[in-house]
Structure 1
Amino acid sequence: MRRAVFLDRDGVINRAIVRDGKPHPPSSLAELEILPGVYEALQKLHDANYLLIVVTNQPDVSRGAVKREDVELMNAFLASQLPIDGFKTCYHDSSDGCSCRKPLPGALLEAAQEHNIDLSKSFMVGDRWRDVEAGAAAGCKTFFINYRYAEQKPDAPDFIVSSLLEVKKIILGEF
């Protein structure tokens, strides 16, 4: 079985747009900015034989604020620039009741089945409580990148860090 690092998109790979202390996804490719250190961190994890799977909630599609094509364009751009092995994108809103929307673990479980991933030897990296809960529910170790947003914090992440570079150092034992 394989090991994976599951990654939230906005706030982990690319800069989230913070308004009133809360993070929001970019609405277009023009607003998309890959965070510093992300390429290096992902390349090192990929070189260490971790699958890199982006697991992202994009409810603005369901809400009519963003077109699905625009989200897919941003994902395709990230895939062209970074060593990402796959994307699991939930386009639903909370009221839709799907199992793929974090904090539920459906997207991680589906990716694990598709890619023969051992979740107990895998990690979930996110910047919001939903990411940490989904990772824990799937049986992964969890990382919380703490940007001190004005919102609910996760209950018990395994690690609290300040960047994806720090995540890479912990996973690969680079101290």
Structure 2
Amino acid sequence: MFGPRRAVFLDRDGVLVVPQFREGRSFAPTTLAEFAIYPDAPSCVARLKEAGFFTVVVSNQPDVGAGRTAREIVDEMSLRLRHAMPLDAIKICCHTSQCACRKPQPGMLLEAARELKLDLKESFMVGDRGSDIEAGAAAGCRTVFIDLGYTAEPPPERPNKIVGSFREAADWILSLPQEDS
């Protein structure tokens, strides 16, 4: 590969996985019965991979740290994601309070960038919450906000692009001029 090692960092719930909606915001599924992958997510990830992007899930899962979901359940969800789509890495933060890896901190993105030798300036962060956009910006990535209409929290400030779905995010990323790879 001659060009930069580009990645698309993906939040899990609200981007790849259908979240639970209540009280004006989204919540992660806590059981395998609630876990459902958006129908177009696998094809979108595949298109990004075919274009030369590394694909990395970065997900806060504080329900594990709070004891509401077993780590084994989250690990099985990750396994199902890996079977459904071509992902290069999945990073999970189970902490319930702020730490270096919990978004909006960029720790998971920085760790993946070190491990996979990624060029963060040529990469993207796609998410449905302000914390996703803040983490991506802090890591030096371009950011794409999927606006799912949450009313319980403010939208992020100045993402590079606002879209209504992961398909729209992938289409926009793929429409941009890219360095030769």
TM-score by length of 1: 0.95
Q: Is 1:90 aligned to residue 93 of structure 2?
A: yes
The separation in 1 between residues aligned to 2:25 and 2:128, in whole angstroms, is: 11
1:70-126 per-position Cα deviation (integer Å, ceiling 9, x unaligned): 1111011111111111101000012xx420000000110010000000000000000
The separation in 1 between residues aligned to 2:5 and 2:89, in whole angstroms, is: 14
Deviation at 1:22, TM superposition (A): 1.4
Partner residue in 2 for 1:168:
170
The separation in 1 between residues aligned to 2:77 and 2:84, in whole angstroms, is: 11
TM-score by length of 2: 0.92
Deviation at 1:32, TM superposition (A): 0.9
Q: Is 1:139 aligned to residue 136 of structure 2?
A: no
Partner residue in 2 for 1:99:
100
Q: Which runs of 5+ in 2 are unaligned?
A: 177-181
3-state DSSP of counterpart to 1:61: helix
Partner residue in 1 for 2:179:
none
The separation in 1 between residues aligned to 2:76 and 2:141, in whole angstroms, is: 29
Deviation at 1:141, TM superposition (A): 0.2
Q: Is 1:122 aligned to residue 160 of structure 2?
A: no
1:1-37 per-position Cα deviation (integer Å, ceiling 9, x unaligned): 4100000000000101011111000012211111131
- Kindly tell me the number of residue pairs found equivalent between the two proteins: 172
CA contact (8 A) 1:57 1:101 kept: yes
1:31-63 per-position Cα deviation (integer Å, ceiling 9, x unaligned): 111113111111110111100000000001111
Identity %: 49
CA contact (8 A) 1:28 1:74 kept: no
Deviation at 1:160, TM superposition (A): 0.2
Q: Is 1:48 aligned to residue 51 of structure 2?
A: yes
The separation in 2 between residues aligned to 1:45 and 1:29, in whole angstroms, is: 27
